[in-house]
């Protein structure tokens, strides 16, 4: 049981890295998501379910489900990228060598009264107001209410979960469908090279 469970979890993680690329490009500014840990079990369940469900009788259903999951993953992934771009801000801090360094911060969807008044008084954009100066950077709590930052973080987390769940599951279901279509055997059957039909054997 431990070996099989480890193999399934490793498959989920491997598929995730395969299709989404380097993890750092999917992180939320300031702190990493822990959503990639939350989706391990449901994704593993769908992968195992597809493994036993994929048969010659259900191959088109499996391929259809894989295609549908792919479309959902693309849609949610594009939305996630847009939300991340919309609420990503930078503040400048002085690094060890005396140079200013830009630190990414996750914004909120509601400004504080101080931020609104400051932006209106000096004619600043939200990014300009938040940047401050390298020696006196503003804190996120000055710019956005805490509850607004939580809302944005939760929205990004749900989009991340949907994208990862659908994308990883789509890869596995499409792979099962192709395997069944090529071998004409259920995906759950143990395969070896001798079981895979060749052109010559089919003609006979």
Q: What is the pLDDT of residue 11?
A: 72
Which residue, among 138, 36, 50, 146, has the nearest Cα to 89 in the 3D structure? 138
Q: What is the pLDDT of residue 34?
A: 64
Question: What is the value of pTM for the model shown?
Answer: 0.75
d(CA 93, CA 101): 5
Residue 167, CB half-sphere, CA atoms under 13 Å: how many?
23
Higher pLDDT, 196 or 161: 161
What pLDDT digit, counting tens, does each position of 11-66 carry?
777 776 666 665 555 666 666 556 667 777 788 888 888 888 889 999 999 999 99
What pLDDT digit, counting tens, does each position of 120-153 carry?
888 888 888 888 765 566 778 888 998 999 899 8
């Amino acid at each position: 049981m431990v070996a099989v469970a480890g193999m399934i979890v490793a498959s989920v993680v491997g598929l995730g890295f395969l299709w989404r690329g380097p993890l750092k490009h999917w992180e939320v500014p300031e702190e990493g998501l822990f959503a990639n840990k939350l989706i391990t079990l449901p994704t593993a369940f769908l992968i195992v379910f597809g493994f036993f469900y994929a048969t010659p009788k259900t191959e088109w259903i499996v391929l259809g489900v894989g295609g549908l999951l792919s479309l959902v993953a693309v849609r949610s992934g594009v939305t996630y990228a847009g939300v991340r771009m919309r609420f990503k801000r930078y503040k400048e801090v002085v690094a060890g060598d005396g140079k200013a360094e830009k630190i990414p911060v996750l914004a909120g969807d509601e400004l504080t009264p101080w931020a609104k008044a400051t932006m209106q008084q000096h004619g600043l954009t939200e990014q300009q107001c938040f940047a401050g100066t390298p020696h006196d950077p503003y804190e996120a709590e000055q710019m956005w209410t805490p509850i607004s930052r939580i809302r944005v973080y939760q929205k990004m987390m749900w989009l991340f979960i949907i994208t990862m769940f659908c994308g990883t599951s789509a890869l596995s279901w499409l792979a099962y469908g192709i395997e069944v279509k090529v071998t004409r055997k259920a995906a759950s059957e143990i395969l070896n090279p001798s079981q895979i039909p060749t052109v010559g054997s089919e003609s006979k």
